[in-house]
Chain A
């Protein structure tokens, strides 16, 4: 409507372009998902008929993803890691939001920039730098006081820390944006009605932040779940799903069971993303 009032050839061409873009957007995902249902040993045409074997079959060579122990283990570790990352990053994101919206301290702007920086550091570098520090610390402690700290060696703990290090920037930004919208007179009103500070926080401020905290938590969970670059350097024997899938792809080549996992992840992450959007679009927003 801002280009022209009646559908001109230009507008039709524009629409065709937008349509082409969305086809481009969907094509690889559709390809990755669809071959999960092809009754063939290879994720390729021709179509051999519909099957759910790649999800539920329990015998080789068509071992379904829900019977593939290594994939299931990867899925489990992914859930554990993503759960920890989401919980931690939402907690720190919330304290950061209060710090930067309510707090008053010197160098606030510089520190705020510092909070954003992890988002523009390549994930690979976050991975190696944390690996280096953790290993150096572990080696040093082992050498000097003969203390072996297993959690400083590559493994779940380091993976969680590595992902947490940049996911927290995302959660902080989401929750800060919401807290900025908060009408401070609401807290004063609650105080005025006789509530204690703790009660105001529990009954007024946190409920107001809840949609942002949930949305930030979901995004943190998704980012953690799909993360590869940072995880690659920090992973130990407990490999999360993306690493397991990559290994499978590199060693076995593409098999339809990977399509099954892809389908599962596309649907799962799409649904979670949808929930996070719906949660944030709350009706009580003024």
Chain B
């Protein structure tokens, strides 16, 4: 029938951009990256297949230490973002009055897309030796000599939490906002105290938002480049820096590709574990935010 043919043609036409995008820009490049990472440079312009790049990674403690450090600090940042962000999201969604709710949420949404670079730049101006905080403390006589707050792990963590926390709060507010207040009231009404209501009713309900926020935040942190470098200085040892180093500075694409694959595998495993442990799926978490 003619109508069926038109329907089929429409489906193919709609499929074309999707396939071109996913295949040419996502699947094929990643396959290419994996293949490249399996190529060993034996002599100039002579290559052979092998796991050499990965063996180099294992044999060089600096590399895998950096990956572990990146991973553990990313988990720390994710946890901090959740702990700091959840009360804020809960306040906006459930406690603030109708008027202030929209305003507060807007305050979170507007700076959402400000560049990492500007955020890090702002922190540099605040934290460095000649920065606002040091000068301020000096002028009030609280400290004697200027203090350098930058170039340590604490600064990196603060900067990272700052950069990603809105990506935690915004999905949380959306989820909590969709929760019927009467559910919480029913929880109290049936004899629950604040703690049990929080643990048994609110947190399970907000789980998709929590998981979604954690995934995005973890991914953004582990993949961030600017914040650790600018706030942590030369010795921030973030894994993305290693990748950049291999690719651009040493022009060793093979090992850079291996590092890239390792980072991808690492973040994927963590995200997969998170989804499994929380019993969520990618489609009902990230897709909803």
A-side interface residues toward B, CB under 8 Å?
1-3, 11, 14-15, 17-18, 21-22, 24-25, 27-32, 35, 42-46, 91-92, 95-96, 98-99, 103, 105, 109, 111-126, 128-133, 136, 161, 164-165, 168, 173, 219, 222-223, 225-226, 228-229, 232-233, 242, 245-246, 249, 254, 258-259, 262, 265-266, 269-270, 272-274, 277
Choose from A25, A27, A128 the contact partner of B260 (Cβ within 8 Å): A128
- Is B132 within 8 A of A45, CB to CB? yes
Q: Are A109 and B107 in contact (CB under 8 A)?
A: no
Extra 15 A-B pairs, beta carbons < 8 Å, given A29-B122, A95-B18, A122-B264: A11-B95, A25-B108, A32-B118, A112-B287, A117-B26, A119-B216, A119-B219, A125-B30, A125-B263, A131-B247, A136-B36, A226-B113, A232-B244, A266-B111, A266-B114
Set B225, B268, B287: member contacting A229, Cβ < 8 A: B225
Stretch at the interface among B9-17, B41-49, B51-59, B60-68: B9-17
In this complex, what residue of B is CB-closest to A245?
A: B117
B130 at the interface (CB under 8 A from A): yes
Give the docked Cα–Cα distance between A266 and B33 (Å): 36
The residue of chain A having its C-beta at the shortest distance from the C-beta of B124 within the complex is A254
Which residue of chain A lies nearest to B271 when distances are taken between CB atoms in the complex?
A: A120
List B contacts of A262 (CB < 8 A): 118, 121-122
A274 and B110 contact, CB distance less than 8 A: yes
Given contacts A168-B21, A229-B240, contact A27 B122 (CB under 8 A): yes
Q: Which residues of A contact B280 (CB under 8 A)?
A: none
A129 cross-chain contacts in B, Cβ below 8 A: 29-30, 32-33, 257, 260
Q: Is B76 an interface residue (CB 8 A)?
A: no
The answer to whether the Cβ of B131 comes within 8 Å of any Cβ in the partner chain is yes
What mask results when residues 237 to 260 of chain B are scored 1 for a CB within 8 Å of chain A, else 0? 000100110011000010011001
Which residue of B is nearest A224, CB measured? B113
Residues of A within 8 A of B94 (CB): 2
A116 to B21, CA, bound (A): 12
Q: Give the most central of B30, B114, B240, B286: most A CB within 10 Å.
A: B114
State the B residues within 8 Å of A (CB): 11, 13-18, 21-22, 25-26, 28-30, 32-33, 36, 84, 87-88, 91, 94-95, 104, 106-119, 121-126, 130-132, 135-136, 162, 165-166, 181, 184-185, 194, 215-216, 219, 222-226, 230, 240, 243-244, 247-248, 253, 256-257, 260, 263-264, 267-268, 271, 282-283, 286-287
Contact A29 B135 (CB under 8 A): no
A25: which of B14, B107, B226, B287 is its contact (CB, 8 Å)?
B107
Chain A residues in 8 Å Cβ range of B256:
128
Shortest beta-carbon distance from A200 to chain B in Å = 13
Q: Write out the residue numbers on chain A whose beta carbons fall within 8 Å of the beta carbon of B121.
A: 28, 32, 249, 254, 258-259, 262
Specify the chain A residue showing the minimal Cβ separation from B267.
Answer: A122
Can you list 9 A-B pairs, Cβ within 8 angstroms, ordered by A? A28-B119, A28-B162, A29-B122, A92-B21, A95-B17, A115-B18, A129-B30, A129-B260, A273-B112
Given contacts A29-B119, A99-B18, A233-B247, contact A122 B263 (CB under 8 A): yes
Kindly state the separation between the CA atoms of A228 and B87 in the bound complex, as whole angstroms. Answer: 30
Cα–Cα, bound, A173→B33 (Å): 27
The CA-CA distance from A168 to B222 in the complex, in Å, is 21
**The one of A120, A124, A249 that contacts B230, using a Cβ cutoff of 8 Å:** A249
Closest chain A residue to B163, Cβ basis: A28
B interface: dominant SS: helix
Whole-angstrom CA separation of A29 from B122 in the bound complex: 6
Instruction: Give the Cβ gap from B86 to chain A, nearest Cβ, in Å.
Output: 11
Instruction: List residues of chain B with CB within 8 A of the CB of A28.
Output: 119, 121-123, 125-126, 162
* Inter-chain contacts of B88 with A (CB < 8 A): 18, 21
Contact A29 B114 (CB under 8 A): yes
Q: Which 8 A-B pairs have the closest CB atoms?
A: A122-B223, A28-B122, A129-B29, A226-B115, A32-B122, A222-B113, A165-B25, A99-B14
Q: Once the chains are docked, how many angstroms separate the CA of A223 from the CA of B167? A: 13
A232-B117 contact, Cβ under 8 Å, with A105-B11, A115-B22, A116-B287: no
Select which of A27, A91, A121, A132 is within 8 A of B264 by beta carbon: A121
Contact of B26 among A91, A118, A259, A266 (CB under 8 A): A118
Q: Chain A residue with minimal CB distance to B161?
A: A24
What's the Cα separation between A265 and B113 when bound, in Å?
Answer: 10
**A132 touching B117, Cβ below 8 Å:** no
B243/A223 in contact, CB under 8 A: no
Cβ-neighbour of B14 out of A29, A35, A95, A120 (below 8 A): A95
Q: List the B side residues contacting A161 at CB < 8 Å.
A: 25
* Given the contacts A32-B121, A32-B125, A44-B125, A114 and B95 also touching, CB distance less than 8 Å: no
Residues of A within 8 A of B114 (CB): 29, 226, 265-266, 269-270
Query: In whole angstroms, what is the CA distance A157 to B131 when docked?
Result: 39
